[in-house]
A and B are shown apart, each in its own frame.
Chain A
Amino acid sequence: MTGPVGAPTLAGPAGEACADGPFAEDLDAYRLALRDHLRAERALQRFRNRRYPSTEARMADHAGLERLLYDGGWNRYGWPSAAGGLGGDERHRAVLYDELAAAGLPVPGQHMLLETLGPPVVRFAQDLAAAHLPAYLRGEEWWGQGFSEPEAGSDLASLRCRARRDGDTYVVTGQKLWTSHGATATRLVCLVRTGTPESRHRGLSMIMIDVDAAGVTIRPVAMANGDNELAEVFFDDVVVPASRLIGAEGQGWAVAMYLLQFERAMYAWLSAAEALRRLRELRGQLAARAAAGRTLPADAAARLGEAYAHLAALRARSADTVRRLAAGDTVGPEASVDKVLLATAEICLHDTARDLLSDEFLFAAEDAPGVTAPAAAAAVAAGCFGEVAQWRTDWWFSRSATILGGSAEVQRTILADHVLGLPKETKR
């Protein structure tokens, strides 16, 4: 099987790069070629079992992984050629995540928001996609998602960050909070108010803002694990070209709803693939401890089995949703089932790790202040330096599964309203 390197992307007669890659119409061939490549490619080895001291370090290193995947053409499938892709559909992206995870490789951190922000930009802002998505796929830039605000969390439609039209530009003033990847991204895709303050979801627009534009101030927000996954962003009369709109002015809510389909389908699938890799790693870590003569908690088997069963159920559900999305179906409120299953599986996996690694998780000295050099060296030699610390870091992130992207409460309310058809909650 030959790889897609050198795939035909030559300029057409009109000077446009428009050719799809050889795997665009053959998902199984893509899967097998990718599987072979990931197994054999030595340059990928350094990304396995790698742990990072910070989000910044992880994103910077993953940019290198993204570049390798781009150069081979692998991460370009699932994106249109006009936006730097090689054609194919969502299933190609889903296969990429699955094969990376099965090969013991991380899905580059950049993909979390590529999956939510990429599709609406491709759909509603072709020029922006052509201008910036190729660089995203090359690992040269990535975007943050600026939706929530101090006074608009679950109640997103109450957001106040304002964009005032001024000729060919918008002038943005206000604040965003809990901006995912806000501390490392080069551009932010923001939901802003272009209508009246009372216009709720009708007066919103989506716009792409460069973080180095004059008047943008970013303050990283450290999560409880110390990682700067999120940020607070201040806009002080930031001038943004009107060409940066994603969708028409006032169409922001519709664009956000379109985006949500990919968050529900693709992000869930991506996360499930990663979680399955992590569960496999946990099994290895537990087996190593058992082999070293340590006694595992009595319920280790039941807990591991439970975590796997939750993940398998999530994958079963999510695969169907991904296929529906790829077939052009609209993924509606029923996808809140996927979101609830994702949160359940992630919380269960990380609680399992915490409880089965027990005292180590709580009290291990490997990352304590003043850890001795010999102790650290011994841990490195044993190949387990930082593995428990990684679970601690991830445990905190897993808690966001029921909060970010629509809280657990919002999901259950959507199901109650639109799927079960229960009588609506009454306003007090």
Chain B
Amino acid sequence: MISSPSETGLDAATAELLAGSLREVLTTNLDGSGLGSVLEELGWDEVLADDRAGATTLLFVEHGRALAASRVLDDVLLAELAPSLPAPGAGTRVPFYPLGTAAPVTPGAPLAGLLLGGLDGVTEVVVPVALDGRVELALVPAGLVTAIARPAGGFDPASRWLVVEGAVDGLAEHTLPDGGAWERAVAAGRLALAAEIIGVCAAALAIAVEHTSARVQYGRQIATFQAVRHRLSEAHVATESARSVLAVAWAAQDHPDGGVGAARLAKLRAGWAQAEVMRHALQVCGAMGLSLEHQLHRHVSRAAALDALLGGHRALTEQLGTELLAGADFDRVVEI
């Protein structure tokens, strides 16, 4: 049975204290510099051991709220991948994030994916490879990836991400059995990303509430107009439903699939929520919300980029539906 998602270890006062410290460092240093030492000061390893769900959600919600662009998500994936990899030695590893539904790379096909930052100081990129129906991990020297990487431009230029596009020779030649690690890494990453998207959504909704409560037209605050109020309510519903699914997904770790299905659902619903929240927030903030000087556009862009990481909500919805059509169980997801 899945336990109540409210039974997490962090009490409200501790959570608020931790959130405050994280908020301070993340808003001061958007690139995440200083985050490591703050986490150390807070005794983050202990906090994680105490309440992995609560701590991870707290960290990534704040990361999203601040629109930070650190590589802390890499650590979440690497923690799951590490048991299947040799000790890293002196170098630094980073995981590769395939585009689409985060499926492992087919040998011979060009890579298409993202890295969460530059390759300076990185020695190896961990790439999942699909071999005869199983997944193996390739440790690709960073130099080979540098040749086919470029800074991500496009919708969210503040992301600091790299786009990797192109072939890497010999990808399938020196791979290691992953023992299910890639699937677990994707699931862990999706839980963190769902929280991060929820953080961006909460911040955008707060901006929209503040704007519509202050902005006066026709002699009244525009938040008194029903059309505006109802959009904001819908944004709230979308965000809250993403929170509920995320809590359930964390509580699903003892499910027969290890919580992989529930983690995908949490990411899917967070992705859907950001589409709803941003649509409504943009509308009620009017032309101001479209301007470069206003902060809203940064939330819109970041939420869309985070949605695409480890599987966008539309791709995941179609993947889920395809499995259902093919006869997959209708998991009840949650029991009382």
Contact = CB atoms under 8 A, between A and B. Distances in A.
B241 A337 contact: yes
Contact of A322 (B321, B333, B336): B336
Contacts of A91: 336
B74 to A, nearest CB: 28
B4 A320 contact: yes
A300 B325 contact: yes
Interface in A407-423: 409, 411-413, 415-416, 419-423
Given A300-B321, A337-B237, A419-B236, A315 B332 contact: yes
B221 interface: yes
A422 B330 contact: no
A316 B333 contact: yes
Nearest to A339: B237
**The 4 residue pairs across chains A and B that have the minimum distance between CB atoms:** A305-B321, A301-B321, A416-B229, A412-B233
Which of A313, A315, A425 counts the most B-chain CB atoms under 10 A from its CB? A313
7 contacts: A287-B325, A302-B317, A305-B322, A316-B241, A319-B335, A420-B209, A422-B212
Given A276-B330, A309-B272, A316-B241, A304 B324 contact: yes
A2 interface: no
Contacts of A306: 317, 321
Interface in A268-288: 269, 276, 279-280, 283, 286-287
A390 B240 CA distance: 33
- Contact count band on B: 35 or more
Interface in A312-335: 312-317, 319-320, 322-323, 334
Contact of B269 (A309, A323, A416): A309
A378 B242 CA distance: 46
Chain B residues touching A, majority SS: helix
B237 to A, nearest CB: 5
Contact of B333 (A28, A300, A312, A422): A312
A412 to B, nearest CB: 4
Among A95, A304, A305, A315: residue with most chain B CB under 10 A: A305
A91 B4 CA distance: 12
A323 B213 contact: no
A337 B240 contact: yes
A340 B319 CA distance: 26
Contacts of A269: 336
B317 A283 contact: no
A304 B321 contact: yes
> For chain A, what secondary structure do more than half of its interface residues adopt (helix, strand, loop), or is it mixed?
helix
Contacts, number: 153
Contacts of B213: 422-423
B151 interface: no
Best-surrounded residue of A94, A296, A303, A309 (most CB of chain B within 10 A): A309
Interface stretch (B87-95, B158-166, B243-251, B294-302): B243-251
Query: Of B6, B245, B335, which is in contact with the most chain A CB atoms at under 10 Å from its CB?
Result: B335
A252 B308 CA distance: 51
Given A31-B1, A94-B336, A302-B317, 17 more contacts: A102-B332, A276-B332, A301-B321, A305-B316, A305-B322, A312-B334, A315-B334, A316-B333, A317-B244, A319-B248, A336-B233, A409-B230, A413-B229, A420-B232, A423-B213, A425-B226, A425-B229
Nearest to B321: A305
Nearest to B246: A316
A336 B244 CA distance: 14
Contacts of B320: 305, 308-309
Interface in B152-188: none
A300 B247 CA distance: 29
Contacts of A295: none
Given A283-B324, A313-B244, A301 B318 contact: yes
Contacts of B265: 309, 312
Interface in B172-214: 209, 212-213
Contact of A305 (B220, B229, B236, B319): B319
A279 B332 CA distance: 12
B290 to A, nearest CB: 22
Select the residue from A279, A286, A416 with max chain B CB neighbours within 10 A: A416
A301 B234 CA distance: 26
B37 interface: no
Nearest to B331: A312
